[in-house]
Amino acid sequence: MTRYPVKNIKLFYFICGILVAVAALVLGINLLLGGRYVDLTADKKFSLSPQTLELLQRQEATIRLYVSKDMGSSRLAGYASYVRRLLSEYQRKSGGRVRVNIIKVEPFSSSQASAEKAGITPFYPEKNGVPVYFGVSVTNATGRTLAIAHLIPERQKALESDMSRLLSVSAVEKQPRIGVLSSYFRVANEANVLDYAENMPFVKELEARGFKIIPLSPTAAAIPEGIDVVLVFYPLNLGQEAIYALDQYLMWGGKIMMMLDVFSEERFRDLETYISYNSGLRDFLQNSGVSYQENVLVGDNVNSRSSVLDGHYIKYPFWLTVTESHIAKHPITEGIKTLFLNYSGFFDYLPQDNLKMTVLFTTGSNSGLMKAENVAAMDYDKLSEEYVPTNKEYPLALLLEGKFLSLFDRPLIEDRDMLSILPPFLSLPIKEGALLIVGDSDMAAEFLWNDDMTKDTPAFETAFSSDNIYFLQNMLDYLSQSGYVSVPVKREDSVDMSLAAYFYQSAAARYLKSKAQIADKKIIAAQEVAQAGRTLAAVSMPSAKRLKELEQLQRELSAADEALRRIDYQTKENYNDYLSLFAWVTIILLPAVFILAIGVGYRCYEIRIKRKAEEYVK
């Protein structure tokens, strides 16, 4: 039997150990930064969605990822690695039809000028730090370029949704035209170039998703030609001209979405007092079999969010949370998991032979009703006394499709010259139309979908707290038949993330509940401070008591801010602990275990050879 020198065996053993240690280290870094290309997970966490794969079979485009050499933050650098890997999947699964270029941006160079020309703007991840370029642009076959100016880690779950949407929007040259009619809120700029009014934030979000927003006059007797969908946002005391215009629009096969509101929190905050609501649409809705009580709110004792009321921290029944179990399966609700509503009304419906009715979402069965004027008082005792439990499920959104019947039997306008420029009057429909009705306009208010409304961030940069914007997007896609791709946002149970992002999420999960409670208190405190400030501003000589109350409210707001900062600090400390533990396991313990396993295996092999030799000797 040939025996090898002990020295050679030890050298071999040492080299194997080094190789195993290096392999373990590379594997660990790969896992940490998300460098995985084979999806071995049971639920395919690291695979593109069917909607994206279908898009990639018919799309040709160039994706350019602009990344600064100095990202200014380790978290951003880790996220950049994840973005590169996801975009490489786009290129690989498209068969080369979608090309991905990664451009390193250096200060004061041609790469910086190229980034800014494409629509990528700098931002500062650290205070007093260096500006960072981290965005993506998509250029289609005709040279049209669209961009996401900033890629932020908070939107990691929505990255595939945003990218696929951007690709599909770039492929469609004709944007769906959405006419917005609102008799109280300014939700879109007028056509006048001198109109510098700010859009409401949800309008910017819809524009970023490929829709062209056109303001409509609430006094016009006709909807202009070429409008694909009319969005009626918070109709208030609509006149006969507007109702006639909507009625005739339906006769010609138009698509309408109405966001009604028994108690608009936005309007209440603006006026600082409750005024009864009258949409002016009672007869219009009843003509299609829908009834809507404009002075009654619906609440839910279980499916609701928390609030502080008269010093009591309670589950506030009128801050509704609609979950998946109460959302119908429909193209409009595809991928929708959670919707937030504040002070919603509800609908009753009498079936019509000419219309198909779909309930899109409802309250839970632990519901109740209350008059809106009592809610406005925000009195805890009155709430508990006058809230009437009914234990029913109430429809909160209805979709009617088919041939609508006109509310009018003759033209509203009698002036022949005016009639000659309006579309011909129809008492019977010539095409099938659609009418979608929601019981709450606050769904589109920023505080119900923007996770951090203190930041003035452009569209596509918001960390969403609900699916409200995606519901509006899907609704407009469905009604306008836009052809845009809508990819459901990945959830906590199926999120494509690197191990580093998972560690950060695990660290944050420990403080999730307390952070949500403090954030709720902060919002309430901010509202109270703003209210007290407006009250003091209206008084020439405020009393010392009022000033002291304002000072106390400001202290509460500062305390909430400090508590949130403390939670963020603790989250980062926990994250660093996870990374340290992972480093020890990967660099020391894992190689040691591998080396020990090799040693044990070698020792077993040596014993086996020795026994065989003894058998030969015998």
Q: Which CATH number do you get for residue 203?
A: 3.40.50
- The predicted pLDDT at position 494 comes to 43
Residues in the chain: 618
- The predicted pLDDT at position 41 comes to 39
Res 91 pLDDT > 80? yes
Are 431 and 529 members of one domain? no
Among 180-189, 232-241, 463-472, 513-522, the range scoring the smallest mean pLDDT is: 513-522
In a domain, 335, yes or no: no
In a domain, 403, yes or no: yes
Take residue 174 and report the two structure tokens written for it.
């004709």
* Residue 105 contacts residue 111 (beta carbons within 8 Å): yes
Are 123 and 192 members of one domain? no
- The predicted pLDDT at position 193 comes to 55
Are 447 and 546 members of one domain? no
Scanning 126-189, the segments in alpha helix (DSSP H) are: 159-171
Domains in the chain, number: 4
Average pLDDT of the residues in 162-180:
92
* Residue 252 contacts residue 431 (beta carbons within 8 Å): yes
In a domain, 337, yes or no: no
Average pLDDT of the residues in 259-278:
86
Are 182 and 228 members of one domain? yes
Q: In CATH, what number is assigned to the domain containing residue 138?
A: 3.40.30.10
Q: What is the percent of the chain where pLDDT is above 90?
A: 36
Are 474 and 564 members of one domain? no
> pLDDT class for 308, splitting at 50, 70, 90?
low
Lay out the sheet containing 388-389: strands in order across: 296-300, 367-371, 388-389
* Residue 187 contacts residue 194 (beta carbons within 8 Å): no
- The predicted pLDDT at position 284 comes to 95
* Nearest-angstrom CA–CA distance, 326 and 233: 24
* pLDDT tens track for 20-55: 666 666 665 555 555 444 443 334 444 788 899 999
* pLDDT tens track for 348-390: 999 999 999 999 999 999 899 988 888 776 666 677 777 888 9
Scanning 264-306, the segments in alpha helix (DSSP H) are: 265-271, 282-286
- The predicted pLDDT at position 461 comes to 75
Are 511 and 460 members of one domain? no
What stretch of H or E contains 100? strand 98-105
- The predicted pLDDT at position 493 comes to 46
In a domain, 411, yes or no: yes
- The predicted pLDDT at position 615 comes to 77
- The predicted pLDDT at position 468 comes to 94
Please report, to the nearest 10 degrees, the dihedral formed by the alpha carbons of residues 560, 564, 570, 574 taken in order.
Answer: 150
In a domain, 112, yes or no: yes
Question: Which of 426, 460, 486 is the endpoint of a domain?
Answer: 486
* Nearest-angstrom CA–CA distance, 235 and 185: 9
Among 23-32, 108-117, 470-479, the range scoring the smallest mean pLDDT is: 23-32
- List, in order, residues 6 or more apart from 122 with CB less than 8 Å away: 131, 132, 133
In a domain, 495, yes or no: no
Take residue 277 and report the two structure tokens written for it.
């609501």
Structural domain harbouring 29 = 1-36
Query: How much is the mean pLDDT over the chain?
Result: 82
Higher-confidence position of 566 and 536: 566
In a domain, 537, yes or no: yes
Question: Which of 486, 514, 548 is the endpoint of a domain?
Answer: 486
Take residue 251 and report the two structure tokens written for it.
């006769």
- The predicted pLDDT at position 35 comes to 46
Neighbours of 596 (CB within 10 A): 11
Res 102 pLDDT > 90? yes
Are 228 and 93 members of one domain? no
Res 609 pLDDT > 50? yes
- The predicted pLDDT at position 156 comes to 84
Question: Which of 424, 451, 486 is the endpoint of a domain?
Answer: 486
Take residue 425 and report the two structure tokens written for it.
């009057």
Closest CA to 300 of 341, 259, 249: 341
In a domain, 525, yes or no: yes
- The predicted pLDDT at position 424 comes to 86
Are 122 and 269 members of one domain? no
Higher-confidence position of 117 and 561: 117
Kindly calculate the radius of gyration of the chain based on its CA atoms and give it in whole angstroms.
30
> How many degrees, rounded to 5, is the angle at CA 499 between CA 493 and CA 505?
55
Highest mean pLDDT among 46-50, 430-434, 519-523: 430-434
Are 469 and 588 members of one domain? no
Q: What is the percent of the chain where pLDDT is above 70?
A: 80
Are 355 and 245 members of one domain? yes
Look up residue 6 and give its amino acid: V
Phi, psi of 291 (to 5 degrees): -120, 145
Are 444 and 515 members of one domain? no
Are 350 and 236 members of one domain? yes
